[in-house]
Amino acid sequence: MASARSSVAKPPEPRGRVGFDVTAGPRRAVLFDVGGPLDQETAFEQRIDGVILAALAAEGCRLDPGAYDRLCGAAVASFAPNLYEAVVWSALGGDRDACGRAMVAVAGRMAADPPAFELRPGMADLLAGLHGRGVRLGLVANQPASALERLAAGGLAPYFDHFAVSGTNGFRKPDVRAFLAAATALAVAPAECVMVGDRIDNDIAPARLLGMAAVRLRTGRHAGQRPRSLREVPDADVADVPGLALAIDRLLAG
**Residues 227 and 151 grouped into a single domain:** yes
pLDDT tens-digit profile, the chain (254 residues): 443 333 333 333 434 443 455 555 799 999 999 999 999 999 999 999 999 999 999 999 999 999 999 999 999 999 999 999 999 999 999 999 999 999 999 999 999 998 999 999 999 999 999 999 999 999 999 999 999 999 999 999 999 999 999 999 999 999 999 999 999 999 999 999 999 999 999 999 999 999 999 999 999 999 999 999 999 999 999 999 999 999 999 999 98
- Show the domain range for 99: 42-112
Residue 131 lies in a domain: yes
CATH of the domain at 36: 3.40.50.1000
7 lies in some domain: no
Give yes or no: residues 166 and 185 share one domain: yes
Looking at the structure, tell me whether residues 169 and 226 fall in a common domain: yes
Closest CA to 221 of 33, 9, 44, 23: 44
Q: Per the structure, how many domains does the chain have?
A: 2
Q: Quick one: 240 and 135 in the same domain? A: yes
In this structure, the answer to whether residues 64 and 146 fall within a common structural domain is no
Residues 68 and 159 placed together within one structural domain of the fold:
no
Do residue 87 and residue 202 come from a single domain?
no
**What's the per-residue H, E or C state across the chain?**
CCCCCCCCCCCCCCCCCCCCCCCCCCCCEEEECCECCCECCHHHHHHHHHHHHHHHHHCCCCCCHHHHHHHHHHHHHCCCCCHHHHHHHHHCCCCHHHHHHHHHHHHHHHHHCCCCCCECCCHHHHHHHHHHCCCEEEECCCCCCHHHHHHHHCCCHHHCCECCCHHHHCCCCCCHHHHHHHHHHCCCCHHHEEEEECCHHHHHHHHHHCCCEEEEECCHHHCCCCCCCHHHCCCEEECCHHHHHHHHHHHHCC
90 and 137 within one domain: no
Answer yes or no: do 97 and 144 share one domain.
no
Listed residue (170, 192, 195) closest to 34, CA to CA? 195
